[in-house]
Chains A and B, each alone.
Chain A
Amino acid sequence: MGTTILGFCQWLQQLQWATSLRESSLAFPVIEGTHLLGLAFILGPVLMFDLRLSGLAWREHAVSKIARIFVPYSLAGAVLMFGTGILLFCSEAVKCYNSGWFRIKVVLLIVAAINALYFHTKTQSTWAAWDNRPTPPPNARMAGVLSMVFWAGVLLAGRWTAYNL
């Protein structure tokens, strides 16, 4: 199994466009810089909703309103981050495969997604009862705090992938 994935990564990064991306002194930094600064695009709106859920900001605004305002922006940001992230991965697939931090990053991304999905499918169904409450109930606050923790972990593991730690 492991060798199959490794083989795929080797095949991926020897592709001509992946190779030239890896060796480019302009395209790679630009894409990597976009991936870094794109964090503001995806996580700015995510943070707004997390702050509302955990009761730390936007307390005078309905939770559903804050969600409707900011979630679309974060989805647009996610497209940007996935696009640049996949390009970066393809260009350094073997390095990523060998990096423990990259695996942690992927796991944390999945965990953050599960947290968000769980909230939007389960917790959100009780929304009407506390939509206007400045401080949402504990499970909703937990979802907001966990989201911020997971995303901080994604940032850490992502940066440390590049360090080769």
Chain B
Amino acid sequence: MNIYWFYQWCDSTRLGEWVRGNTWAFPLTETVHIIALTVLLGSLFVIDLRLMGAKMRDLVPARMQKELHSYIDWSIVVILITGIMLFLSEASKAYSNAAFRPKVILLAMALVYHYTVHRRALATEQPPRWAPWAGAFSLILWFSVGAAGRAIGFV
């Protein structure tokens, strides 16, 4: 089944046309996307390093999660909104971009992982024995999303 028509339809949405047509809309949207990404990856970076065993005095991973989960959740919301705006503005291009679909698949995996396995690893004061693996996998997954996203602009 060819779903190119869907990408074309996305291209023709008013939001897509606005982002594409306005000189400052795309750069601004992308900058907000990157700032939110830095908040997300930065927060996950410190939590996951801790899960992996980095010494951070008496900081408990589960407590770190309590401090940061609202920043993490909100940055994900902002990343998704701005990401959809960017996509709508060049959907046909995304269709034929070799990095776009891998990125979306990785992103879906990362989101599911984050709200299931990763959350479990951070649910208890005493982290489970597999917590270091959960932290490592989280970092690998999210940085792969970032790398694939950056690759969209290069391939």
Residues of chain A touching chain B, judged by Cβ–Cβ distance below 8 Å, are 29, 32-33, 36-37, 39-41, 43-48, 51, 57-58, 61, 65, 68-70, 73, 152, 155-156, 159-160, 163, 165
Contacts and interface: CB of A to CB of B under 8 A. Distances in A.
B151 A47 contact: no
Interface residues of B, number: 27
Contacts of A37: 41, 143, 146-147, 150
Given A37-B146, A39-B34, A73-B49, 15 more contacts: A37-B41, A37-B147, A39-B38, A40-B38, A40-B41, A41-B45, A44-B38, A44-B43, A44-B44, A45-B42, A51-B71, A69-B56, A69-B59, A155-B31, A163-B27
6 A-B pairs with the lowest CB-CB distances in the bound complex, closest first: A44-B42, A40-B41, A44-B45, A29-B154, A33-B150, A39-B38
Nearest to A25: B154
Nearest to B67: A57
B85 to A, nearest CB: 16
B99 to A, nearest CB: 11
B147 A33 contact: yes
Interface of B: 27, 30-31, 34-35, 37-39, 41-46, 49, 56-57, 59, 67-68, 71, 143, 146-147, 150-151, 154
A37 B139 CA distance: 11
12 contacts: A33-B150, A40-B42, A40-B44, A41-B42, A43-B38, A44-B45, A47-B43, A57-B67, A69-B56, A73-B49, A155-B31, A155-B35
Given A36-B150, A57-B68, A48 B35 contact: no
Contacts of B42: 39-41, 43-48
Contacts of B151: 29, 33
Q: Which of B34, B39, B42, B44 has the most CB of A within 10 A?
A: B42
A160 B41 contact: no
Contacts of B56: 69
Nearest to B28: A156
Contacts of B35: 152, 155-156
A48 B46 contact: yes
Contact of B57 (A46, A47, A68, A165): A68
Contacts of A70: 46
A159 B41 contact: no
B59 to A, nearest CB: 7
